[in-house]
Structure 1
């Protein structure tokens, strides 16, 4: 007999479903369902309700991936269908929770909330040919959780089996709605950060951004432009001028949009033969703006 976790992974790995129509899965043993669909030709949406195997309240949340779709560039998003997203969701048992927590940036202070022990995985099948340009926006909208100002929840992303990276760009009421962005996939979890040392995290995030900008695939003009944006922002942060630091990162995001292409590789496809550096730079910029906003008094 398959466990609930194994059942879910098996069922969601199936791709023999309508490409554009909503798909519903009734979960055995409970009234919950998981519905997935493509909205407006650019957004994958999953309404998730899974029964707690320990007979507690159902785990409920929405997960969304929204891609950029340029009407003047039909090739900016190709083959976005439910099966081509490669979506799966699982309830993490104690062993899986321990594995996830060991791969978090700060395992001693970051943890999975027992009220939402869910992991979403996005692994587009190679044969489907999903392609997109620039970054995507990811969102967890968790009905089980309660939002408070200076919320400790963070959205994390990792390659399959790899180290998680904090991609949180904002956490807003909804009950808890955490958003971030990226240029690559695959695992997403929502965690609680007990410490939230925004200043130290900002220092580390600027260093991480610098490592990303040092990638040899980025052209010299883009390196100079984006490196200058980062340096000016970091200087403003060091001076305690957080609003100015955020503004300079806004400039970086705008420059990424202009430079995306040969100067700043900005395309991902399911063949996994391209490196979407534009999406990863914008992801790091977005997380830095979140940290700087908290330092500047944002709730």
Structure 2
């Protein structure tokens, strides 16, 4: 008997399950997908200030299924980072789930791509020991979505069970790399956002102002003045000045963080990372201002 015969027999036994996977993939990620919530296998590696999670489709026991997406997390200064301390999971979601749709900013103009109805959750356990200072960078990389210049695909984030908001600070090729800055977690979606860009910018400015309102009173006026500068510049419009003011918000948050503004996130949720959230808000605001300059409303 040839030494390849056992392999061939195993392959023949796998064919029906492979066919079933092909059918499942078509259901989960095909056009018009209405799949229920189905957990997806996730493997996580972490070291230093970097973590990577690979999300796959279910396949054969002991055999990895095809990669759906990779989540990359980079921290400025992490402590206690490990696969277990991150609490990463993923699942398919229905395009028509009313509970999910209610969490989107606009049920008509912010939509789940039919080819990637996937929700990734990063929910560090309270006792996991994870903490970090400043901000971090998240990237969802997938070949299940096509990239084109000026794409309306965006990275959205939400607290567990809460409302999703745009945190995109870059959309890059390969096929799609959706990147954003964060000051905390926990759930991520890639959405197609057809809202007019000025509406998106207004929402981001309002979110930043709400975060500024949480700062010590002595810290608020300088940040409010910089946000006023963004709005004034956009009214002209002077995109260079608007981008410079957004950059100044980020720079001030970094400079004031740790001394005058809280800048640490902990799994225990006992502190509030205001500086990290201001940095994240300024980064995504900059992205939208640049998009408006380059592609219009």
The two structures have a TM-score, normalised by structure 1, of 0.79
In structure 2, which of residues 218, 238, 253 is the aligned counterpart of residue 241 of structure 1?
238
Equivalent position of 1:79 in the other structure:
80
**Number of residue pairs aligned between Structure 1 and Structure 2:** 257
Q: Using a 3 Å threshold, how does the CA distance of structure 1 residues 290 and 94 change in structure 2: closer, same or farther?
A: closer
Instruction: Write out aligned runs for 1:40-189 (5 A).
Output: 41-51=48-58, 60-69=68-77, 77-93=78-94, 97-189=97-189
**2 CA distance for matches of 1:48 and 1:153?**
19
Q: Per-residue deviation at 1:93?
A: 3.8
Matched, 1:38 2:37: no
| Cα deviation code 1:25-50 (max 9, x no counterpart) | xx6xxxxxx432114x1111012221
Equivalent position of 1:210 in the other structure:
209
Instruction: Write out aligned runs for 1:11-22 (5 A).
Output: none
Q: Per-residue deviation at 1:220?
A: 3.8
**2 CA distance for matches of 1:209 and 1:123?**
23
**1 CA distance for matches of 2:245 and 2:39?**
47
Q: Per-residue deviation at 1:263?
A: 1.7
Contact 1:101 1:110 in 2 (8 A): no
Task: Could you tell me which runs of 5 or more consecutive residues in structure 1 were left unpaired when the two chains were aligned.
Answer: 9-26, 28-33, 70-76
Secondary structure of 2:76's aligned partner: coil
Contact 1:59 1:116 in 2 (8 A): no
Contact 2:254 2:279 in 1 (8 A): no
Aligned-pair Cα RMSD in Å: 2.3
Q: Per-residue deviation at 1:4?
A: 9.7
Contact 2:103 2:163 in 1 (8 A): yes
Q: Using a 3 Å threshold, how does the CA distance of structure 1 residues 166 and 94 change in structure 2: closer, same or farther?
A: closer
| Greater Cα radius of gyration, structure 1 or 2 | 2
Q: Per-residue deviation at 1:156?
A: 0.8
Contact 1:103 1:164 in 2 (8 A): yes
Contact 1:219 1:262 in 2 (8 A): no
Equivalent position of 2:25 in the other structure:
none
Contact 1:131 1:268 in 2 (8 A): yes
Task: Could you tell me which runs of 5 or more consecutive residues in structure 2 were left unpaired when the two chains were aligned.
Answer: 1-34, 60-64
| Cα deviation code 1:31-84 (max 9, x no counterpart) | xxx432114x111101222159xxxx9562111111103xxxxxxx21001100
The two structures have a TM-score, normalised by structure 2, of 0.80
Contact 2:69 2:142 in 1 (8 A): yes
